[in-house]
Structure 1
Amino acid sequence: MPLRRFRALQAIAAVIIACAAPAKAFETEARAAWVYDVSTHTVLLDKNATEPLPPASMSKLMTINMVFEALQSGRLQMSDTFPVSEKAWKMGGSKMFVKPDDRPTIEELLHGIIINSGNDACVVVAEGMAGSEEAFARLMTERARELGMTHSSFANASGWPDPGQRMSLEDLGILAVRLIEEYPEYYPMFAMTGFVYKDRVPSNSENRNPLLRIKGGDWKADGLKTGHTEEAGYGLVGSAVKDDGRRVVFVITGLANDAARARESEAIVNWAFRQFAAKTVVTGGTRVTEANVFMGESSKVGLVPAKDLKLLVPTMGQTSLEAEVVYTGPVPAPIEAGAELAELIIRVPGLPDHRVPLVAETSVPKAGFLRRLSTTAGVLWSKHVAGEAASPAS
């Protein structure tokens, strides 16, 4: 059976009207960037996003993920404690300021990692969960592969500079979305602005995420993690949500300084929310078109999306969407209602193609004997006529 492709814009004109012209591309100073609309699963910006780069402290998100997974499975409790080794105590860079005689709880360690960006807290967690930081890093790499993060490898738990510590921005974005969606009970920790462990060094207590300090407007930031080393530059894995619930996740790296990171982060969020709007363009169960049926009680079956189709469209100007339905047909009977039969491809100017499965609107039983006989005869006759037409004149 041939693969059938046909334009479907006229068939769905009643529900897909007009959308905006292509959005203005965001010109970023960052070495690499990735911007993602969570509600519509749309990548808005991809600049070197699959290149493995030094992630600095942004790789702490993978350490946090390992802890969240252990909490969710019951292998850890927030009240559990870990000892502090001499290695953890002597760690440089950003610190939670634990000491060898401390027994910090998992909750305190998470606060120390998320808010203080504590390298020492990461070592405590790694050694407590896997026996050594090296063993924990291997587990991090294995788990990243399982989660589809194919451009990530870990040599440590903190993001300390190491040739073996690499993550792509796309992988960091995948990880950020996972932390938001899979762990709603723990995610609010990322919005906390300060934490001091045992009243030590309060000057190090402030969360470095610049977006958390922005007040007012129709969106607010609630995560996730900054990063900075001389090699990596300044970076941020950020997330912001609008009053209507629409969420954007973004990752940037390679900025020159803290001020540039803050400026670029706010600009990206404003661009993502102002240049694009989410619209329901087809409601679930609405017939988009029909597919031909072979040997069925009906010669056609309606094709519908199983659920509402919400797309992100640019907000400025007016132009038409393009839509195409692809299926292999005619589709042989019997057909069960809800069976996936086709794919609707919608092209929005300036954005990646959006692909949506289409399912059978109703069931189509196999035709009775006489109808099947009639269909077979019709097919044979059509082939005979076609053959006669193709034969050379005598």
Structure 2
Amino acid sequence: MGLRSTFLTTAFAASLMASTSFAIDTTAREAFMVDVKTGHVLLEKDADVSMPPASMSKLMTLYLVFERLKDGRLTLDDKFTVSERAWRKGGAASGSSTMFLEPRQKVRVEDLIRGIIIQSGNDACIVVAEALAGSENNFAIEMTEKAAELGMENSTFANATGWPDPGQRMTARDLSILAKSLIEEYPEYYKFFAQKNFKYNGIRQSNRNPLLYKTMGADGLKTGHTSEAGYGLTSSAERKGRRLILVVNGLNSVRARSGESERLMEWGFREFNNYALFQKGEEVTRAELWLSDKQSVGLVIDQDVEVTLPRKSRRKMKVSVKYEGPIPAPVKQGQQLAKVVISAPDVKDIEIPLYAAEDAGRLGFVGRLGAALKSIIWGVTG
């Protein structure tokens, strides 16, 4: 017995690459781009470096609102009261990004959502935090706990707004995880991110996401800026069923944020594509058996597999099935027997487990004796 390696058809060999980002220069201090469906990372630059997220951290404030809307604790028509603190710290009185709320005003949840997304209203964030958790400090604790629950390993929050604070830190990768969660878990509320303007208290403001105004399929999510953070954007766009998430931060101007985000997003759609490889339950190949009542057993994959790869690399992929064989009987259906291994120059190998499609029994004593004699005399296995 020994390692068996079977190369698959060229159709398979043309359809997969490892989840490794390809290099492209960017002026962003931190950057991360991922294909939502496949999880393939197209770009990363200091993606796990702790950074001030500025108003991009408002995405977690929105996540906690959407969570309560979905489970029924909130409705869009519920109203929250604007406190003096929310008005002074987050409103027009502070000179910060604001929804222009007034003290003691009662505001619908739906309007607060729009105010946070479109107007980046710090006042709206504080109103939400105080209403949902009693205080902004308590809400920040909940934000940090939710981040850990979502797998955002390097995110901590000190406030609901993104206001500068040493305890307000995220990474570009964590922001992409949060964006993906918003898109996939709350599609009925994600639509708010695509709205370009909102009028409240007689004041109309426009969404600061520059990609919404370009014909590139962008429909979210949130800008951010402070003197420490620089200019940042967590964005997403969809074309022909393929969705990308891009996070950039540390840019030096509004213009640079717009131009660099557009350039990188266009690169992601242009240079990469998604390819379907296997369907769940598909027989990939067959494995030879030893001392079994069957000559071979089918090897199947237990999930649909779609992958992202550079268009120029598609023809250079090699796909093989590897296992220690012939495989001794008995074999049980669902038993992992082999793996698909995909390799190509300059990319990491990727492995996908394969399982027995059916049971295969063991030969009786006489059958095993005959098989052993054949192996000794003729070198025949089975």
Shared fold per TM-score greater than 0.5: yes
Look up the match of 1:67.
Answer: 65
Q: Residue 78 of structure 1: which of 72, 76, 79 is its match? A: 76
**C-alpha displacement of 1:314:** 1.5
Look up the match of 2:104.
Answer: 101
Look up the match of 1:206.
Answer: 206
Look up the match of 1:347.
Answer: 343
Residue type at the aligned position of 1:269: M
The question of whether the paired residues in 2 share the 8 Å contact of 1:5 and 1:324 is answered with no
Q: Residue 38 of structure 2: which of 37, 40, 46 is its match? A: 40
The question of whether the paired residues in 1 share the 8 Å contact of 2:301 and 2:355 is answered with yes
**Pairs within 5 Å for 1:185-264:** 185-199=188-202, 201-202=203-204, 205-215=205-215, 219-242=216-239, 244-264=240-260
Q: Deviations over 1:5-26 (max 9, x none)?
A: 6654x22334334789x99732
Look up the match of 1:357.
Answer: 353
The question of whether the paired residues in 2 share the 8 Å contact of 1:233 and 1:255 is answered with yes
For structure 2, the residue ranges without an aligned partner over 5 or more in a row are 377-382
Residue type at the aligned position of 1:236: L
Q: Residue 110 of structure 1: which of 108, 113, 117 is its match? A: 113
Distance in 2, matches of 1:70 and 1:295, equals 59
User: 1:71–1:24: structure 2 CA closer, same or farther, 3 Å change rule?
Assistant: closer
Of 233-242 and 75-84, deviating more is: 75-84
Residue type at the aligned position of 1:69: E
Matched, 1:176 2:179: yes
The question of whether the paired residues in 2 share the 8 Å contact of 1:223 and 1:240 is answered with yes
Q: Deviations over 1:199-226 (max 9, x none)?
A: 1x32xx11000000113xxx31000000
Of 23-32 and 89-98, deviating more is: 23-32
* Secondary structure of the structure 2 residue equivalent to 1:186: helix
Residue type at the aligned position of 2:341: I
User: 1:355–1:128: structure 2 CA closer, same or farther, 3 Å change rule?
Assistant: farther
Distance in 1, matches of 2:87 and 2:332, equals 65
Residue type at the aligned position of 1:303: L
User: 1:168–1:285: structure 2 CA closer, same or farther, 3 Å change rule?
Assistant: same
**Pairs within 5 Å for 1:73-152:** 73-90=71-88, 91=90, 92=94, 93-152=96-155
User: 1:110–1:315: structure 2 CA closer, same or farther, 3 Å change rule?
Assistant: same
The question of whether the paired residues in 2 share the 8 Å contact of 1:237 and 1:250 is answered with yes
Distance in 1, matches of 2:197 and 2:174, equals 27
The question of whether the paired residues in 1 share the 8 Å contact of 2:16 and 2:308 is answered with no
TM-score by length of 2: 0.87
Distance in 2, matches of 1:61 and 1:328, equals 49
Q: Deviations over 1:110-140 (max 9, x none)?
A: 1111111111111111111110111111111
User: 1:286–1:229: structure 2 CA closer, same or farther, 3 Å change rule?
Assistant: same
* Secondary structure of the structure 1 residue equivalent to 2:316: coil
User: 1:44–1:331: structure 2 CA closer, same or farther, 3 Å change rule?
Assistant: farther
Look up the match of 1:385.
Answer: none
Residue type at the aligned position of 1:290: R
Q: Residue 157 of structure 2: which of 147, 154, 166 is its match? A: 154
* Secondary structure of the structure 2 residue equivalent to 1:208: coil
The question of whether the paired residues in 2 share the 8 Å contact of 1:134 and 1:156 is answered with yes
Look up the match of 1:387.
Answer: none
Look up the match of 2:273.
Answer: 277
User: 1:263–1:367: structure 2 CA closer, same or farther, 3 Å change rule?
Assistant: same
Alignment RMSD (CA, Å): 2.9
The question of whether the paired residues in 1 share the 8 Å contact of 2:38 and 2:306 is answered with yes
Higher strand share: 2
Residue type at the aligned position of 2:150: L
The question of whether the paired residues in 1 share the 8 Å contact of 2:15 and 2:275 is answered with no
User: 1:35–1:347: structure 2 CA closer, same or farther, 3 Å change rule?
Assistant: farther
User: 1:245–1:18: structure 2 CA closer, same or farther, 3 Å change rule?
Assistant: closer
**C-alpha displacement of 1:85:** 1.2
Residue type at the aligned position of 1:300: S
TM-score by length of 1: 0.84
Distance in 1, matches of 2:50 and 2:337, equals 38
Distance in 2, matches of 1:328 and 1:340, equals 12
**C-alpha displacement of 1:68:** 0.8
Distance in 2, matches of 1:327 and 1:84, equals 65
Distance in 1, matches of 2:243 and 2:38, equals 9
For structure 1, the residue ranges without an aligned partner over 5 or more in a row are 383-394
